[in-house]
Amino acid sequence: MFIKSKTVRSLLRFVPGKRRFGSYRFLPIFFCIGGVMEWIMINVRIGKETFYDVYRRKRSEREYQQKITDGLVVLQDPAAK
């Protein structure tokens, strides 16, 4: 079903702890990758916004839209002035 590459297999042998930890020996590597991704999403700006700036803005827009549909917020007509 899956073709196992000899180069991938030889690269995986370089990671220590095969006998003691088995496949869990890769866990610290993925933990560090996740930490780096989180740091990038918080600190790296693409244009003028980070990932979390966009997330917070979209979340507040969704909450405001939900309040409008629930009738908790009444839109004011600017032509009524």
pTM above 0.85, yes or no: no
Could you give the C-alpha distances from 41 to 55, 57, 58, in angstroms and in order? 10, 15, 16
- What's the confidence (pLDDT) of residue 18? 85
- DSSP designation for 23: G
Could you give the C-alpha distances from 18 to 3, 11, 40, 66, 70, in angstroms and in order? 21, 13, 31, 52, 57
What tens digit of pLDDT does each residue of 2-40 get?
A: 567 888 888 888 888 888 888 888 899 999 999 999 999
Flag whether pLDDT at 52 surpasses 70: yes
Percent of the chain with pLDDT over 90: 30
Q: Compute the C-alpha angle 40/46/50, nearest 5°.
A: 55
